[in-house]
Structure formats: structure tokens, C-alpha cells
Amino acid sequence: MNKFFNLLKKDTKELITVQLLIPIIIVIAMYSTIGNIMGSEMERATRPQQIAVVDFNGSALSNQVIDMLEKSNFIAVETGTFNVEDSINFARKKGINILVAIPENFEEDVVNLKQPEVEIYSIMKGLSVRETGTSTQVEAVFNVISNAISTNLITQKFTGIPPDVIKQPIKARDIVVVKDRMAQASPALVAQSAMNFSIFIPIILMLVTITSSQMIASLIALEKQNKTLETLLTVPVNRNFILLSKMVSAAIVAIIVTAAYLFAMTRFLGISQGPQASSDVMRALGLTLTTGDFLLLGISIFFAILSVLAVSTILAVYSEDEKSAQLMLTPIMVFVMIPYFLTIFTDVNTLSMPLRVLVYAIPFSHTFLATNNLMFGNVQFVIYGIIYQIIFSFVCILIATRIFSSDRLLTGRLRLARRRV
């Protein structure tokens, strides 16, 4: 075993290089910085926003509208002038992006149901995401004003009746049903909570599989290119140990790299468990994973990675150098991306039979589908998928072992035909 651990140490050192670490550090620093900036901007957006107001009417209703704005997370700042251009300049100097101009006959037109026009000026200083968010603020301002006016009219016309009853005479009560369980919640809330978790696992798997395949392919191709593989084979070490060492070292480095990228993504996207209310709803519907579910998910991920490593090893043996090895991995990339995108954008069960057979034939698909199946209690389907992955991995490892035990490890080549001029 000492020989195996020495080989593992050697292969791991060859994979963990400065060229590998520098991009990871840069990505983590970049995403963390961007995440902090976006987080501070989002926090700033939740604070009360200043809006400039010029009231040409000065009536009780216009004052009521201004009061309603101040109660709706806005700080109304009166411009002190009754000229629109001067008011816009005032807003610019104060750094305010929105100016609301209430017309002269505002209250009279509202009472006579003439639909007066309240002018809302958006003062844009650029085309950044922050500036384009002004449209959302404008819509919010308009909704507040419209709601205030409609409430006033309803109160006058229907004395003793709450305005909300007139505006919304019926109420919707959302109830989500999952098998034999029910919970009062919005379907969008349940779907979003489930999506946050069911997408996170496929992202992890995609990063690990792609990274591990590139690692082991580069390791074997470089040793063939530098002729160090021939020297290694002359050492009195079981060739199966050499194969196992390369697969384990590639998996270890791939997991480290994936963990680093996921940390950066978490900092950037601000992934969290969500509000407590959504967690309670998910538990009530049984859309949570038990310890046994996580165990099955872990086993499925393990054999998916094992399958990738075995197939990548077979393909890398037939490459001439590192560049051709990366080209040889194209089929793996395609077969990883197919189930990844299908599980995100569609339901596999709604696909036609030929497409479903194709998806289920890809061993990685069963891991992508595992989270959703475990949440909805389809444990049997996950177990069948794991059995298929075990058989596929065993066959691929057997083929890789046969190749490593033969001269094909050194002589294997797959050249693309080139046209001679």
C-alpha cells in the first residue's frame, strides 16, 4: 500500500500546480467582490428611496397622495418650486432619480372621474443595472398613487365598506397537493424552494465530472507525451495501482476545485436556505431529504464520478498529447450537458420514448434526476439507477484495467485522418 500512496502523492502533486491555483484564487476573489457589491446594492434598494415631488394642486387629495408615498417606503422631498425644469435640476443636485408632478386640477378631475395624468420623470444618468432599476421604482410610485386615489373614491362612494373588499371582492387560497399531503402555500413558493436545491446538486455534479475527466486525461496524456509513463511501467508496481492512483488523485483534485468554485458561486449568488416559512411548507409536503435519501444521493454521485473517470481513462489512453486528450473528452462533455439541461428546463417523463431511452442510457442522468425523484418518494427509480451506474462503472473499469495491463497503454493512438495536399 505504501507504493500506492507514493503514486497517489506523486499524481496529486502533478495536478496541483500554480497554473491551477492562480485562476481559482482570481475567480474566488472576483466573485466575492462582485457578490459583496451586489449585496450592498440590493440592501440599499430595500431602504426608503427619495423621490422629488412638485404639487401644482395643493389640495387635500394631493397631500393624501404624498402621505401615502411616505408610508410606502418612499421619502417625498418637495422641490420648493412650481417649474418642472427647475424641479428636475433640484432632483439632479440631490441625487434623486424620480420626480413626481401632480397637475393643477388633480382633485377635481379625480372626483369627476376624468383620469388626471400624474407625470413621473425618470432621471437617468447611465445604462447600468442600477439605473435601469428605476423603472421598477416608477411602477411602484404609480401603484401607490393609484391605490391611494382608488381608496379615497371607494371610501366616498361606499361608506362603511372596507375599500379592499371593493377592490378585491374574492380571495384566492392556494393549496399545494403532493401525493397524500396538502399544505396552504403558493405553488411558486414550493417550486422555487425545490428548484433552489434540485439545481444545486446538478451544478456540483457537472463541475466535478467535467473537472475530474480533464484532470485524469491531462495526467495520462502528459505522461505519454513526456515518456514518463514508460519509465513508470518499468517500476515493480502493480499496473492496477497505477490506474487507481490516477483516478483517485483526479477525483480528489476535482472535488477541491469544485468546492472552490462553488464557494465563489455561493458568495456571488447569495444561495441560502430561504425563509423559515418555505422550509415549513416543504416539510409539510414531505419535499425534504432524509438521511437515507442523502446516502442514496451520495452513492449515485460517487458512481457517476467513477464512470466519468473510467471512460476518461480509456479515451486518454488513445490520445497523443494533452491537446488531443482534451479533444477526446468532447463526447463526455456532451453526455454530461444533455441530462444537465434537460433536468433544468423540462420533465424527462414528458419526453418521447426514444429520447427517454437515450437519457436513461447515460449513467450521469440518474444522478441529475435523483434529487427530484427522492423528494417525490420515487426511491425505487433511484436504486435502479444506482444499479445501472454500478454495472456501467464496473464494465468501464474492467476495460481500463485490461488496457493498462496491455501494451496498448503505450501504443494506443487515435489519429484523425488528414487530407494530403
Residue spans of the domains in the chain: they are 49-171, 188-411
Q: What angle do CA 393, 394, 398 make, to 5 degrees?
A: 115
377's CB contacts (< 8 A; 6+ apart) are: 179, 286
User: How far is the C-alpha of 389 from the C-alpha of 95, rounded, in Å?
Assistant: 60
Residue 286 has pLDDT above 60, yes or no: yes
Stretch 391-408: mean pLDDT, rounded? 82
Residue 105 has pLDDT above 60, yes or no: yes
User: How far is the C-alpha of 112 from the C-alpha of 59, rounded, in Å?
Assistant: 15
User: Where is average pLDDT lowest: 134-148, 292-306, 367-381?
Assistant: 134-148
Stretch 148-153: mean pLDDT, rounded? 81
Q: Which residue has the higher pLDDT, 137 or 50?
A: 50
Average pLDDT along the chain: 78
Q: What is the pLDDT of residue 41?
A: 64
Segment holding 49, helix H or strand E: strand 49-55
Residue 189 has pLDDT above 50, yes or no: yes
Residue 234 has pLDDT above 80, yes or no: no
Residue type, position 257, single letter = V
Q: Which residue has the higher pLDDT, 176 or 384?
A: 384
Q: What is the pLDDT of residue 418?
A: 46
Stretch 178-205: mean pLDDT, rounded? 75
Q: What is the pLDDT of residue 364?
A: 83
Residue 391 has pLDDT above 90, yes or no: yes
Confidence band (pLDDT; 50, 70, 90) for 270?
A: low
Residue 79 has pLDDT above 90, yes or no: no
Q: What is the pLDDT of residue 413?
A: 58
Residue 393 has pLDDT above 80, yes or no: yes
The two most distant CA atoms of the chain are separated, in Å, by 99
Stretch 400-405: mean pLDDT, rounded? 79
User: Where is average pLDDT lowest: 92-106, 338-352, 355-369?
Assistant: 338-352
Residue 92 has pLDDT above 70, yes or no: yes
328-351 burial: b if 16+ Cβ within 10 Å, else e:
bbeebeebbebbbebbeeeebeee
Q: What is the pLDDT of residue 131?
A: 56
Q: What is the pLDDT of residue 31?
A: 73
Q: Which residue has the higher pLDDT, 243 or 397?
A: 397
Per-residue cell: 421: 495536399
User: Where is average pLDDT lowest: 73-77, 345-349, 375-379?
Assistant: 345-349
Q: Which residue has the higher pLDDT, 35 or 394?
A: 394
282-294 burial: b if 16+ Cβ within 10 Å, else e:
bebbebebeeebe
Residue 142 has pLDDT above 50, yes or no: yes
**Which CATH number does 49-171 carry?**
3.40.1710.10
Residue 160 has pLDDT above 80, yes or no: no
Q: What is the pLDDT of residue 392?
A: 92
Could you say which DSSP state residue 364 is in? T
| Range with the largest mean pLDDT of 109-123, 139-153, 263-277 | 109-123
| Range with the largest mean pLDDT of 133-142, 147-156, 189-198, 231-240 | 147-156
Residue 421 has pLDDT above 50, yes or no: no
Stretch 283-295: mean pLDDT, rounded? 81
pLDDT > 70: what percent of the chain?
Answer: 82
Confidence band (pLDDT; 50, 70, 90) for 416?
A: very low
Q: What is the pLDDT of residue 383?
A: 94
